[in-house]
Structure 1
């Protein structure tokens, strides 16, 4: 994995730092993210509404007006434009979209925030900064002797929640068939989905999820939380009597509030790939441990808390703990200072970079050095989770064992876990069908090899279980808008109309995929497909759009760049090659090694079109809209204001240049603030 260079970033630039490495280098791991909701029927085609000045607006039935007013808009210098970070991977730029992204990030009103993302979905569907292909589903494949199997879209599952029939082979060990070698088991370093899943077993975070639930987080190391009225100061009450377990020295360390602050600061100081997830939202230097007495004094003035569907203003520690139904020991309190109110901050704190590490153990083995990894932590995770690492036999397996000091009620049902590292699909499938593996990762296109398979063991017939679940992963083509003819929207739309989406779903994903409509995946807050263009295979419409753009396709050669080792991407590329050739383009496919692929897609002139996919760090549309469609603008300020009339809007933004967009009965006006 290539590391981003450290650089000075401000305001929106920082806020749109994104996750290029995990998707580029770890796209295979991202195929593991699922969601339970099923696909919907394709909507009727609808064209986005966007007009200029206020006098042009005709919005039948518009009952609500939302104004996005920005100040001090500046395009970042070219040397600060980094794909998946400060600029879309296609190098597409749109100041209106950037203002909406920032508005969605900072808006705390749920209804208004949803409308903002509904409009973002509409723009990204019309403008096609990326050509959206499919949203994947994926199979969970295991023997029926495995019990209580579930799946979370960002974190898969924790092994301690799974059971195994006592009559199964090796009932005291879960044998998992994985695909790849971990890169690091340091939560401040790794930005790889497979690594995150292993670390999920070993480390805890302040908050977590209830198995596959994504709608809310639940207490973990934090037993309760509350925040200031402006939601920029968050307080977390730390669970008492929790210890870290160091299996290499066979000793424990108490988990203290100081470990929480140390962990977050460490991520920022080390400045490795996932640092943006902490640094974007949390001012770690202004965050600290506070005494219980100080916290009680703050509480006495009133704080606000929410959990699941309930919310409350609290004025005492007893009242706060009672709200969370906690009556156990408390280790102390930490205060996290946010850089701005962020509605998804609890989701961020459930991600792997927010894992709580042991300060004492790390300081005894090299400590923290700015901009550097710690080689000891790389393969010596000291955590407080349900499992600890027994052994990492490189390129063979990672073995875990139940943590005897684990604090939770959900203690492991199966004592040991061995995750085998088997990159060859055929080998992994063969071992599984023999009964030597309990669960495996496998491409959907190879499911036929395990469908209907059974075996006899212990006098009983056992069957293979295949659960097909939706993911939040979207696959897309990246057209380089720095190059002709991709700089023209009509050409991007023509390419979209020339794609046989059903064939991609069937051939590349074994039928386990459905059409994607924009930057926000189905199953996520802000998704909509009822007011978007429904791109379907239509060569006549595609050719008409090329003619409208004044583009002769026979004069262009399109090279589709893909990363080696991914059958799904090869299948996608082959289908696109055939489809776009029918428009008259010369189309070739280039397969590059991962390092070369990474380097080229980060370069302004390194590709024509590349194929890749995106999965969530945390379940929020900002984790998609920012990295994938940001345009390189920063702002001094962006305000979200609901008004009752256009006359009121005219007093807030320059209507002569403002963009006006609609969604259902909402009019969203995006423009330059006229406030002094």
Structure 2
């Protein structure tokens, strides 16, 4: 057995750029104890077992804490509720040792049994967890989630006692300590869940174990979280309150920030970026994230790979990012920058070849191909959809109809297969190609294209899991990525950069690769 991580927690705080406040004259309210975050939209859920979008994760990271936590700058895993862990020589058995002073926001102790219950709950098909497949790395997890084994004890996560959790993986995964920092792996309070059902996350009921507790939620207005006095490290949490502003209109949110009514704003209107780059609040952080269009391969004619390839090969990604003035054009699903991994080569822009493929697929007259392109309400999504619509018309002669919906309706229709081409973003859950390539495997709940290839599944889920040599493992994953991109069940458009505004008085809060921001590490510091 070997020690996995040290019993230390070092947070390296560096100064933000420049001095001075924004152009507005209004002072930020309630300083220095309230951090105001422009969250934009209400989360669909903040239940760790049901969270699925950025807003839910952003709030959940503040309210719940897992065995490990994200370092605020690097997103590397640091000790949280587990002070240490041991790993077997074959990399399959993890034994986590929990701190004995951890408590829920009602004073109950946080135990290893909470984690066993929560992880099995996320895998229970009755729960309907969006991230159920994320737990498939645990031995017995996939079989239980798919109903092949209805005995929860078959899932190899077990509390040996109140402070010892043992987990058996189905294959070695050096990134497992980072995986368990993800919001879906954070525990829930069993008694509260079973008492209040789907209302357990309401402010009047919720019990959480993180540095903050939810005290109010006004739909389409704001959520407020206050410091949890029972949190094990409460004395080192320097910000007492977080206000999440739920303002869907980005121009309005930006105005509030520039007036001094918010400290952190990240979804900045594209056309405002050039004028904001000289602002001391402005930063641009590279993201482990890809913007892409999913194609419903179960609907004709999109079951024909030639049609999908033609659509992919007629889009000029560089024009999109030039107009957006952000992001990095790509033909790949996996972003660059993962140490040791060489990204695959996707389909190049080639309108002549695209027209040929379309003709071979039976569309000698491109106008006979009708495409509906769906996206959720957002100015950038609309702008991108309009550009792609024009590219398909100019480069292919194909007419596309645009269909705009609010997020929840868009997601519901895509999940039910009621779409043809739909906009999505995937944000990596850990720094490894697998976090991207898993979403196009047959069993993944995020495989909206419904594309299925047993060879691809074997490379991603079986062979790469068995391979202990990191270089050879990455070669297998690269082979899988090339295969998938050639089949075009999705069309990658660009990798994200994250333009953001952060009040220079806020320290210990950074733009980072995974866009995870535990406010517990942040503090206010008056400018000199």
The TM-score with structure 2 as length reference comes to 0.69
Q: Are the counterparts in 2 of residues 387 and 400 from structure 1 also a CA contact under 8 Å?
A: yes
1:182 aligns with 2:43: yes
When you count strand as a share of all residues, which structure comes out higher? Answer: 1
Task: Choose from 155, 160, 185 the match for 1:354.
Answer: 185
Q: Could you tell me which residue of structure 2 aligns to residue 625 of structure 1?
A: 437
Q: Are the counterparts in 1 of residues 28 and 261 from structure 2 also a CA contact under 8 Å?
A: no
Task: Choose from 421, 425, 428 the match for 1:616.
Answer: 428
Q: Residue deviations 1:114-153, cap 9 Å, x none?
A: xxxxxxxxxxxxxxxxxxxxxxxxxxx999679xxxxxxx
Q: Could you tell me which residue of structure 2 aligns to residue 173 of structure 1?
A: 34
Q: Are the counterparts in 1 of residues 60 and 183 from structure 2 also a CA contact under 8 Å?
A: yes
- Alpha-carbon distance in structure 1 between the residues aligned to 2:119 and 2:20: 40
Q: How many Å apart are 1:578 and its aligned residue?
A: 1.5
Q: Could you tell me which residue of structure 2 aligns to residue 477 of structure 1?
A: 293
- Alpha-carbon distance in structure 1 between the residues aligned to 2:476 and 2:248: 47
1:535 aligns with 2:348: yes
- Alpha-carbon distance in structure 2 between the residues aligned to 1:542 and 1:500: 13
1:396 aligns with 2:221: yes
1:418 aligns with 2:243: yes
Q: Residue deviations 1:33-52, cap 9 Å, x none?
A: xxxxxxxxxxxxxxxxxxxx
Q: Could you tell me which residue of structure 1 aligns to residue 100 of structure 2?
A: 240
1:519 aligns with 2:333: yes
1:344 aligns with 2:214: no
1:289 aligns with 2:164: no
The TM-score with structure 1 as length reference comes to 0.55
Q: How many Å apart are 1:600 and its aligned residue?
A: 4.2
- Alpha-carbon distance in structure 2 between the residues aligned to 1:607 and 1:200: 32
Q: Residue deviations 1:576-601, cap 9 Å, x none?
A: 22212124433122314346544543
Q: Could you tell me which residue of structure 2 aligns to residue 427 of structure 1?
A: 252
- Alpha-carbon distance in structure 2 between the residues aligned to 1:573 and 1:347: 34
Q: Are the counterparts in 2 of residues 558 and 608 from structure 1 also a CA contact under 8 Å?
A: no
- Alpha-carbon distance in structure 1 between the residues aligned to 2:119 and 2:237: 28
Q: Residue deviations 1:209-243, cap 9 Å, x none?
A: 211324x4221111111123333322101112122
Q: Are the counterparts in 2 of residues 556 and 585 from structure 1 also a CA contact under 8 Å?
A: no
Tell me: CA distance 1:401–1:289, structure 2 relative to 1, closer, same or farther (3 Å): same
SS in 2 for 1:254: coil
- Alpha-carbon distance in structure 1 between the residues aligned to 2:63 and 2:462: 40
Segments of 5+ residues of structure 2 without an aligned counterpart are: 1-15, 22-26, 141-151, 443-451, 468-474, 484-528
Tell me: CA distance 1:177–1:481, structure 2 relative to 1, closer, same or farther (3 Å): closer
Tell me: CA distance 1:556–1:612, structure 2 relative to 1, closer, same or farther (3 Å): farther
Task: Choose from 43, 57, 69 the match for 1:196.
Answer: 57
Q: Are the counterparts in 1 of residues 434 and 477 from structure 2 also a CA contact under 8 Å?
A: no
Q: Residue deviations 1:591-647, cap 9 Å, x none?
A: 14346544543456x4443332222234332222121254164779955788xxxxx
Q: Residue deviations 1:486-536, cap 9 Å, x none?
A: 4554544443332221221123xx21111123221223356424x625724
- Alpha-carbon distance in structure 1 between the residues aligned to 2:458 and 2:357: 35
Q: Are the counterparts in 2 of residues 186 and 378 from structure 1 also a CA contact under 8 Å?
A: no
Which protein is bigger by CA-based radius of gyration?
Answer: 1
Q: Could you tell me which residue of structure 2 aligns to residue 300 of structure 1?
A: none
SS in 2 for 1:263: helix
SS in 2 for 1:176: strand
Q: How many Å apart are 1:271 and its aligned residue?
A: 1.9
Matches within 5 A, 1:232-311: 232-246=92-106, 252-269=107-124, 270-274=126-130, 276-277=132-133, 279-282=135-138, 283=140, 285=153, 286-291=156-161
Q: Could you tell me which residue of structure 2 aligns to residue 332 of structure 1?
A: 163
SS in 2 for 1:581: helix
Q: Residue deviations 1:39-73, cap 9 Å, x none?
A: xxxxxxxxxxxxxxxxxxxxxxxxxxxxxxxxxxx
Matches within 5 A, 1:119-158: none
- Alpha-carbon distance in structure 1 between the residues aligned to 2:89 and 2:277: 57
- Alpha-carbon distance in structure 1 between the residues aligned to 2:292 and 2:282: 26
Q: Residue deviations 1:408-449, cap 9 Å, x none?
A: 388222222211111122222222222222222333414248
Q: Could you tell me which residue of structure 2 aligns to residue 647 of structure 1?
A: none
- Alpha-carbon distance in structure 2 between the residues aligned to 1:354 and 1:590: 37
Matches within 5 A, 1:41-120: none
SS in 2 for 1:195: helix
> Which structure would you say has the larger RCO, counting Cα contacts within 8 Å and 6 or more residues apart?
1
Q: Could you tell me which residue of structure 1 aligns to residue 81 of structure 2?
A: 221
- Alpha-carbon distance in structure 1 between the residues aligned to 2:381 and 2:309: 21
- Alpha-carbon distance in structure 2 between the residues aligned to 1:625 and 1:212: 25
Tell me: CA distance 1:503–1:629, structure 2 relative to 1, closer, same or farther (3 Å): farther
Matches within 5 A, 1:548-627: 551-594=363-406, 597-602=410-415, 606-627=418-439
- Alpha-carbon distance in structure 1 between the residues aligned to 2:477 and 2:184: 37
Q: Could you tell me which residue of structure 2 aligns to residue 304 of structure 1?
A: none
Q: How many Å apart are 1:484 and its aligned residue?
A: 5.8
Q: Are the counterparts in 2 of residues 526 and 621 from structure 1 also a CA contact under 8 Å?
A: no
Tell me: CA distance 1:473–1:553, structure 2 relative to 1, closer, same or farther (3 Å): farther
- Alpha-carbon distance in structure 2 between the residues aligned to 1:261 and 1:499: 47
Task: Choose from 179, 183, 199 the match for 1:375.
Answer: 199
Q: Are the counterparts in 1 of residues 192 and 200 from structure 2 also a CA contact under 8 Å?
A: no
Of 202-211 and 429-438, more deviation after overlay is shown by: 429-438
Q: Are the counterparts in 1 of residues 342 and 478 from structure 2 also a CA contact under 8 Å?
A: no
Equivalent pairs counted in the alignment come to 422
Q: Could you tell me which residue of structure 1 aligns to residue 518 of structure 2?
A: none
